[in-house]
């Protein structure tokens, strides 16, 4: 979301700067140049509105945005109609009419770029909104919960890079985090489909260098049996058990390459590892252990993919609370 807002703000700022330069050089007195500038403004704002609407209406999930020829043609027709209407109004208008049109365009551009860049700044560095899409974190977080994520607690990230500074605290076991799914291509299949571009919410189970193994409902970290926590949820279901004869090195490599699920499938739910969490990576699981596609199936989460720590639920109001 913050990247899209930044792009929207940057585009509108570029239009505003261009308009100022043209006005200063008295080039807007030319009807053709003025009309072209007005049409570009209308087309840009309309296109960006559709672009942002697609993202928001799909819950911020880029992978869910599907191409539709019909929708594209309808939107193109709307943009063209607005542009024609704007071109006629600006070209036929007298000097006073054009001054009013320019003032309105510039005011809107100024409002949009300031608001978008301010929102992008806040979301890049401090707080991001997130909506829970699945049951993998029940009962800590349930479908439809709206959250605020603290993006500053693990350090401020420089936009479009993995560089961080000003870290307030380290990532700890038990933290509930938001992260970008660690797939590198749109064609990569995990958890039954492509996950590229999606944000996930899970709980930190193990840190870099830790050894992780799972037997049934029990998690072992560095060969130490982890006590069950009140937030863990299990189904009364039959548990899988099998003997893994694969070489540890090969098993580890498949896990880090995010293909282990292709070989073992749902068996990994109850019989996993042991693996060593690589440096700069974390092992995560959902609290609803039997209905969570997590590090057991697709591997560790790189540090640079972690966006922040879940802060609190702000909606529905009946579930408003801080998350520990």
Find the helix or strand (DSSP H, E) in which 76 lies: helix 69-92
3-class DSSP state of 14: helix
The answer to whether 202 is a known catalytic residue is yes
Residue among 202, 254, 307, 309 flagged as catalytic: 202
User: Cβ distance 242 to 271 under 8 Å?
Assistant: yes
| Dihedral sign for Cα atoms in the order 210, 213, 217, 218 | negative
Mention every residue, 6+ apart, whose C-beta is less than 8 A from residue 175: 203, 204, 309
Q: How far apart are CA 288 and CA 235, in angstroms?
A: 9
Tokens of 164: 């961080």
User: What DSSP state is assigned to residue 173?
Assistant: T
- Give Cα 199 distance to the centre of its chain: 4
Backbone angles phi, psi at 7, to 5 degrees: -65, -45
Pairing of strands 301-302, 281-285: antiparallel
Residue among 90, 136, 292, 295 flagged as catalytic: 136
Which active-site residues does the annotation give? 136, 202
């Amino acid at each position: 979301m913050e990247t899209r807002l930044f792009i929207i703000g940057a585009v509108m700022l570029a239009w505003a700067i261009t308009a100022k330069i043209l006005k200063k050089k008295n080039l807007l007195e030319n009807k053709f140049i003025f009309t072209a500038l007005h049409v570009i403004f209308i087309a840009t704002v309309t296109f960006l509105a559709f672009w942002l609407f697609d993202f928001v209406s799909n819950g911020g999930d880029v992978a869910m945005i599907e191409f539709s020829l019909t929708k594209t043609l309808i939107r193109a027709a709307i943009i063209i109609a607005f542009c024609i209407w704007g071109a006629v109004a600006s070209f036929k208008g007298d000097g006073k009419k054009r001054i009013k049109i320019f003032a309105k365009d510039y005011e809107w551009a100024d409002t949009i770029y300031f608001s978008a860049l301010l929102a992008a700044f806040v979301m890049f560095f401090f707080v991001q909104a997130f909506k829970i899409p699945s049951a993998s974190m029940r009962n800590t977080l349930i479908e439809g919960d709206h959250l605020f994520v603290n993006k500053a607690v693990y350090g401020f990230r420089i936009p479009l890079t993995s560089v961080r500074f000003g870290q307030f605290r380290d990532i700890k076991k038990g933290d509930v985090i938001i992260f970008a799914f660690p797939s590198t291509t749109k064609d990569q299949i995990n958890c039954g489909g492509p996950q590229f571009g999606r944000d996930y919410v899970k709980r930190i189970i193990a840190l870099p260098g830790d050894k992780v193994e799972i037997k049934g409902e029990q998690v072992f970290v560095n060969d130490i049996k982890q006590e069950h926590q009140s937030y863990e949820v299990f189904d009364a279901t039959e548990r899988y058990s099998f003997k893994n004869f694969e070489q540890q090195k090969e098993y580890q490599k498949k896990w880090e390459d995010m293909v282990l699920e292709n070989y073992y499938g749902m068996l990994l739910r109850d019989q996993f590892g042991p693996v060593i969490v690589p440096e700069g990576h974390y092992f995560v699981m959902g609290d609803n252990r039997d209905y969570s596609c997590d590090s057991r199936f697709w591997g560790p989460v790189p540090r640079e993919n972690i966006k922040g720590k879940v802060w609190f639920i702000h909606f529905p109001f009946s579930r408003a609370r801080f998350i520990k």
